[in-house]
Amino acid sequence: MAYYFSWNHRIIGVVAKRREKSMKEYDVVVIGAGPAGLAAANKAAANGASVLAIDSNLSPGGQLVKQIHKFFGSADICAGTRGIRLADKFYDEARKNGCQFMLGASVYAIERDGEDYMVYAGDGSKTWRIRTKTAVLALGASENAIAFDGWTKPGVITAGAAQTLVNQYRVLCGKRVLMVGSGNVGLIVSYQLTQAGIDIAAIVEAAPAVGGYEVHANKVRRAGIPIYTSTTIVSAEGEGSVTGAVIAKVDRNFQPIKGTEKRLDVDTICISVGLSPLIKLAASCGCELIRNSKRETVPKLDDCLMTSCPGIFAAGDMAGVEEASIALEEGAIVGNAVSVYLGIAKEEDKKPEIDEAKARLEELRARGEKRATRFNAALYERYSGSKVVVECGQGIPCNPCEKYCPAHAIHVGEEITNNPEANLDLCVGCGKCVVACPGMAYFLINMNYSEVKAEIGMPYEYLPVPLEGSVVRGLDRNGEYVCDAEVTRVQKLKDADSTLLLKISVPKEYAGVVRAIDRKKVSAE
C-alpha cells in the first residue's frame, strides 16, 4: 500500500490517495521546505528530476513565512525582498517545475533499501513509506534556551515563538517585552515587535558587544530600545506568570555581578541565544557528524554538500547556522549536485553553475572593513536639493542600494562587502536607496530647505502614518528626544514594498542629529 501527494496552494492540508499496485518512487525527496529545501527542490525539478518535498508545517517556506524584513545579500538574487514574498516565489517556481509537496507530515526515519532509500513519514494519524534514489536534508535548526530562576514561567518564550505569534497569527505575545540576546534574530524580532505595537523594555547581551549587524542595532536604538551589553537576565518574577525581570551586569566569566541588579516591568521575556542544527535524522541514518569552526555539530559534507552516506545531501542551517541567503545558495548547489549524482544532468554542464554559487557563498560569508560614517553639514550646504547620507559602515554583504539608484550615484562594486559610497554630484535625491536598504541605513538631507531649517528623509515602517503638516518629536540615533519636527511629506515610492519615505523639517543645527521620530506620539487621526 502506498500513496502519492498533492497540495492545493489555497487550501491548507495534505491530500493522500491510495495506490494499490505500486509504491510511488522519486528521484529526490527533500526533507524540509524552508529556503534551502525549496531552492534544492526547485533546482532538481528544473533539471528534470522527480521531486517530493516534505515539511511538518502546513505551508512551505520555513522561517521565510514569518520574516517580514528585507534580506541582505545580492540584489540579483533576493536582497531587498521580504522573506514572506520569497516563500511564495520559490514555492510557485518549484510547483511549476513539477515538484510535489507533502505538508503537515514529519519524517522520522530514513533507511537504506538496496540501491535506494526508504523514507518514513507520518502526520500523527497516518504513516507512509516513500522510496527515493536520493534525499536532501534541509531541516533547519532549533532555538537554544538558557536556564535562570523562573525560566519555566508562562511568559518566557523564544524569539522565534514571538515572531510566529505576531507575524503569522497576528497575536501579540505581550505588552512589554525583555529580549535576551542581541544577535540578528534578537534585533530583528525586537524591531518587528515594535511594529506590532509592543513595547520593548530592553535588549540584554551577555557579550561585551552586540552580536548582530550594527545596522539592525541602530534601527532598534532609533526606536528608543536600550541595548545593555555585558548584561544578562538573573530571574523572571511573578506568581502565575511573568510580571517582571531582574537583569545584572556580568564579569569576564559571564557571572552576574552582585549589586548591579536592575528590575524591569515586563510581562514577556523572549530568549534569543542562538540556534542549533537539527541533526538527529542525519545521525539516525548513519551520516558522519563533525564539529565545525563555530563548534556546531553538523554532518560531514563534501564540496557539493553530500554527506558520508552516498546520495544523501544536506543544506541550510542543519549544515551550519547562517543567513537565509546562504541557505538559498546551498540549496541551489545541492539541487544541481543531486541531478549530476543521479545522472540526470552532466557534470560539465552543471559545474559552472555550481562554481558560481560557491563563489557567491564566499562573498556572502565575507565581511568588509568597518568604517565610521559622519555627516558634513558644510558639504551638503553646497547643494540646493536633497542628497543621500549613507550611514552603513560595517561592510555587510549587500547591494540593493546600488541596483535601485536610477542616477548611478551609489557605488558598491564587484565585492558586495565593500562599503557603499555616494557621489553627491550624481545624486538626484529620489530616495529609492532609502526605502530599498534592508538595514534602513540611508537618509536624505536638504540643508537648504529654508533659511533656518533642513529637511531630512528617512525610511518609515510603522502605523499610524504621520500626517503631512503635523508636528512630531524628532529623535537622535539612540531614540532620545532632540527637537520638534514638522512632517513635510510622506511618499510611497514604486517598488518600495511598504517602506515609506518620510520627510521632516528640523532646525539646521540638528540635521546631522535627528534620524527618527517618536512613533508613540504620532496621531492616529
Cα separation of 72 and 439, whole Å?
8
pLDDT score at 51: 98
Q: At what angle do helices 35-46 and 83-96 cross, to 10 degrees?
A: 30
CA dist 119 to 106, 130, 134, Å?
A: 10, 5, 10
Cα separation of 374 and 371, whole Å?
10
Residue 279, Cβ neighbours under 10 Å: how many?
20
CA-closest candidate to residue 236, choices 165, 143, 147, 145: 147
Q: How many CA atoms lie within 13 A of 241 on its CB side?
A: 9
Q: Which CATH architecture has domain 156-273?
A: 3-Layer(bba) Sandwich (3.50)
- pTM (two decimals): 0.91
CB-CB contact of 375 with 389 (8 Å): yes
At 226, is the secondary structure helix, strand, or coil?
A: coil
Cell numbers for 78 = 533576493
Backbone angle region of 319, left / alpha / beta, with phi > 0 → left and psi within -120 to 50 → alpha: alpha
pLDDT score at 18: 37
Residue spans per domain, the chain: 2-141+276-365, 156-273, 377-521
pLDDT score at 117: 97
Task: Say if residue 464 is preceded by a cis peptide, omega within 30 of 0.
Answer: yes
Place of cell 552580536: 211
H or E element in which residue 360 lies = helix 347-365
Mean pLDDT in runs of 10 for the chain (525 residues)? 32 34 80 97 98 96 93 85 92 96 96 95 93 98 96 97 96 98 97 97 97 95 97 96 98 96 98 97 96 96 97 97 93 98 96 94 84 88 96 89 94 90 96 96 97 98 96 97 98 93 98 96 74
Decide if domain 2-141+276-365 falls under CATH 3.10.20.30.
Answer: no
Residue 421, Cβ neighbours under 10 Å: how many?
13
Q: Which of the listed CATH numbers 3.20.20.210, 3.30.470.20, 3.40.50.450, 3.30.70.20 matches domain 377-521?
A: 3.30.70.20
pLDDT score at 8: 35
Q: Do domains 2-141+276-365 and 156-273 have the same CATH topology?
A: yes
Cα separation of 117 and 134, whole Å?
7
For the stretch 9-15, contacts whose Cβ atoms lie closer than 8 Å and that sit 24 or more positions apart, written own/partner, are: 9/91, 9/92, 9/95, 12/58, 12/59, 12/103, 12/104, 13/58, 13/103, 13/104, 14/102, 14/103, 14/104, 14/105, 14/123
